[in-house]
Amino acid sequence: MFKSIKLLHKVPQVELSNRRSSSQVKTAVIMLNMGGPQHVNQVHDYLHRIMTDRDMMQLPFQNILGPYIAKRRTSEVQKKYAEIGGGSPILKWTNIQGKLLCEKLDKISPNTAPHKHYVAFRYVDPLTEYTLKEVEKDGAKRIVLFSQYPQYSCATAGSSFNAIYSYYQKKKFPDNIKMSVIDRWATHPLLIKAIGSRISDEIKQFKEIDRNNVVILFSAHSLPLKAVNRGDAYPSEVSATVHAVMEEIGYTNPYALVWQSKVGPLPWLGPFTDDALKGYVKQGKKNFILVPIAFVNEHIETLHELDIEYCKELGEELGVENIRRAAAPNDHPLFIDAISDIVSQHLRDNITVGPKFLLRCAHCCNDRCYQSKHWYSKVCNSN
């Protein structure tokens, strides 16, 4: 019998205030992510920004087609947000993570304290340009650009970094600020342990007799094959995370990497999560855990696509015996330890920008990407 999982939208009651006076901010940790609408009335502008961002996707006649698609999809997407409580919790989770991160950094890295986290979303408030103005106003001496995508893709992390580059094309980068980049962290040991812990928590919810036969489906946001063939690092980095997690839990279960959230008619990286579930059920598999392997906090892709569309609706349709979803890392202590270790090590090593970040895809055709990476090399290494 199908067992519904509990929805994971509830956010712990943690004080989110992270206000410091200008004189109290030495190191600004800017947490970069796509973001998500906090209210249904933000959905249209959110979609419009996505559909007109050529770093995210390339459409013919994008200035015309992008706004048309955004308008057409708004009502459908609004309904999905309404079904998870009226908005995305990604800003709340990022603020919780950032607050806990900086509290820990103040203790373990006193030389770079006080630290303050800032959230820079790509497509919804707080938008990148607003956040950068806030950082400058607070008088931070050092900026750490910290991608909240563990695995790097030009369409996600790349777009966020390009947005920062674009902001500073309109004004000179301050001479008195040192900037550095954390662009990927797909196999950090504590991230792997945190995900492994989430999986172990869910496996315990199955009947003991079934536990070793539970199929673990690691689900990540898909990518157009055109981007994969250009040389985008994302598929290989997601795969590296999956194998590190399975090694962490001792390869106890059958597992597969699957892909979700395809948009539009073009070919995307598969197999898709829903198709994989259908295929494994045909093979006689009855128990599943879905693991959001590329998301560090709950949002629409976990709370609606995985929880409602796949675990509940598709699970019932297929007659699955038991299908559960592992929670995203959220505020798991091991995850907070992971991001704290990543940033503190980055600060200790006095790293500015890694060579992998500066390497473009083998078949890159984005002039802005070339200009952006050249700018980062110059700015980060000059101060």
Kindly indicate the confidence band of residue 383, based on its pLDDT and cuts at 50, 70 and 90: low
Q: Is the pLDDT of residue 28 over 70?
A: yes
The reported pLDDT for the residue numbered 23 is 55
Task: Report how far residue 167's alpha carbon sits from residue 378's, in angstroms, rounded to the nearest whole number.
Answer: 16
Residue 308 Cα distances to 121, 129, 170, angstroms: 25, 34, 43
The reported pLDDT for the residue numbered 51 is 86
Task: Report how far residue 115's alpha carbon sits from residue 31's, in angstroms, rounded to the nearest whole number.
Answer: 13
Exactly one of 44, 115, 117, 188 is catalytic; name it: 188
Residue 272 Cα distances to 214, 261, 324, 362, angstroms: 19, 8, 17, 26
Amino acid letter, 139: G
The phi-psi region of residue 229 (left if phi > 0; otherwise alpha if psi is between -120 and 50; otherwise beta) is: alpha
Exactly one of 45, 106, 125, 341 is catalytic; name it: 341
Per DSSP bridges, beta strands 322-325 and 287-292 are: parallel
Task: Report how far residue 335's alpha carbon sits from residue 193's, in angstroms, rounded to the nearest whole number.
Answer: 8
Q: Is the pLDDT of residue 11 over 70?
A: no
Amino acid letter, 203: I
Residue 1 in tokens: 């019998």
- The mean pLDDT of 24-36, rounded to a whole number, is 95
* DSSP secondary structure string for all residues of 245-289: HHHHTTS-S-EEEEEE---SSS-BSS-BHHHHHHHHHHTT--EEE
Kindly indicate the confidence band of residue 10, based on its pLDDT and cuts at 50, 70 and 90: very low
Q: Is the pLDDT of residue 13 over 60?
A: no
Tell me if residue 169 falls in helix, strand or coil: coil
Task: Report how far residue 145's alpha carbon sits from residue 235's, in angstroms, rounded to the nearest whole number.
Answer: 23
Kindly report the CATH class assigned to 189-325.
Answer: alpha beta
- The mean pLDDT of 326-350, rounded to a whole number, is 97
Residue 330 in tokens: 């959220």
What average pLDDT does the structure give for the chain? 92
In this predicted model, what pLDDT tens digit does every residue of 163-212 receive, in sequence order? 999 999 999 999 999 999 999 999 999 999 999 999 999 999 999 999 99
The reported pLDDT for the residue numbered 263 is 82
Q: Is the pLDDT of residue 3 over 50?
A: no
Provide the whole-model pTM: 0.92
| pLDDT higher at 156 or 17 | 156
Q: Is the pLDDT of residue 312 over 80?
A: yes
The reported pLDDT for the residue numbered 14 is 41
In this predicted model, what pLDDT tens digit does every residue of 61-118 receive, in sequence order? 778 887 888 899 899 999 999 999 999 999 999 999 999 999 999 999 999 999 999 9
In this predicted model, what pLDDT tens digit does every residue of 125-151 receive, in sequence order? 999 999 999 999 999 999 999 999 999
189-325 shares the fold of 22-185+333-382: yes
Tell me if residue 188 is catalytic: yes
Look at 66-70, 217-221, 252-256 and tell me which has the smallest mean pLDDT.
66-70
Kindly indicate the confidence band of residue 8, based on its pLDDT and cuts at 50, 70 and 90: very low
Q: Where are the domains of the chain?
A: 22-185+333-382, 189-325
Q: What are the backbone angles phi and psi of residue 30, rounded to the nearest 5°?
A: -95, 115
| Alpha helix stretches (DSSP H) within the chain | 43-51, 62-83, 90-108, 128-138, 157-167, 189-203, 225-230, 234-248, 273-282, 300, 315-318, 333-348, 355-358, 367-382
Strand arrangement, sheet containing 142-147: 115-121, 27-33, 142-147, 178-182
For the purposes of burial, counting CB atoms within 10 Å of the CB of 247, is it exposed (0-12), middle (13-18) or buried (19 or more)? exposed
Task: Report how far residue 282's alpha carbon sits from residue 18's, in angstroms, rounded to the nearest whole number.
Answer: 51
Kindly report the CATH class assigned to 22-185+333-382.
Answer: alpha beta
